[in-house]
Structure 1
Amino acid sequence: MAVTVYNISATSARVSWPASPNCLDTFYSVMYDPNWNSLLVGYKRKSFMHEERIPVSQTSTHLANLLPQTTYFLCVTCQAANPVRDQCQVFSTLSESSEGHDRGGWELAMGVWLTCCILLLVITGILLWGCLHTMCSIPSQVADCCLLVTNSSHQDMSVSGSVVINCFLSHIRLDHKK
């Protein structure tokens, strides 16, 4: 029997299970306990603090009055049976202000992303300035080329990029002639 716990909130959860044709009793027992560590020794009915009886015609129920941020151990069995491992599930309720935490996490992630983008733009600007400053401090023919690059604010990026590359290659050729 595969027990499924879903729609979990801070104080409630929904539980469903497949119908059991072998269950000839009049109800299913939905047993749950927040102190699940003590239940690991054995699955005994008397170990559970809470038990709800659900008619065999139903295969789901709504659990209410749960504690926020609490881990529960839950089992679903036929009326008279002790639970076995595949009839049980562990789940945790959310905090009371989980929506606020989700939004705060999103805002933090956006802040980190924006800060990284700005930092990357600053580093790129510094590196570009350093490269142009280094290339423009060599003899006059290369300096004319660099002035063309720095003064061309209306050129499209592909033309400006090719001028920078040509300027850089001229700089390399002048260094090899020395």
Structure 2
Amino acid sequence: IEFEKKQLEEGGHSKSLLSKLSDPATKLTAEEVISNFTTYFFAGVDTTAVGLSWSICYAALDRSLQRKLAEEADAAGVTAWIRARLLGSKQQDLPFSDVGIATLLSNSSKNPLKLARGVFLEALRLHPPASQLGADVGADGAELMGYRFEPGTLMFQMLRNQMCSERNNVKEPASFSPERWCEDSPDKID
């Protein structure tokens, strides 16, 4: 943090998350910057691990889903790409034509792995890595819906009930249905 601050004070420029958090205009203390940065880092790792673990569990229990995922991966060139990587092919020999690896790993609408994305998102909906979010109110305090919260107050937001409720337009909220995340689904979740 101190290195980033010194670099910015000397006229340097940075677009890093750390520089944004440590910008004096954000009015965050060094402790708050470290807390936010740590949260961002570990939240990303944990979300990915939980999402992949539950995705694999659901796929392992459903042979039809396994076939659909395999067909989708074959059509996108992923199976050939993995095979080529295992056999030691060079980057230019990889079988992607119009879709690159960055697109396959993205949340882009151009990503052809729509069902795989749906499996991951549905697993996260049913088994969120954090069923609640907790945070301390910052140094200036906060106001929410007319209530004042003093600095240091610990606040929680419950997530699971919001993601698994028919009130929020989720049909059959307790069922695993990755198709609900696909664009052509009548039950699509935005």
Q: If the TM-score is normalised by the length of the shorter chain, which range does it land in?
A: under 0.3
**TM-score, normalization by structure 1:** 0.23
- Larger Rg: 1 or 2? 1
**TM-score, normalization by structure 2:** 0.21
**Greater strand share, structure number:** 1
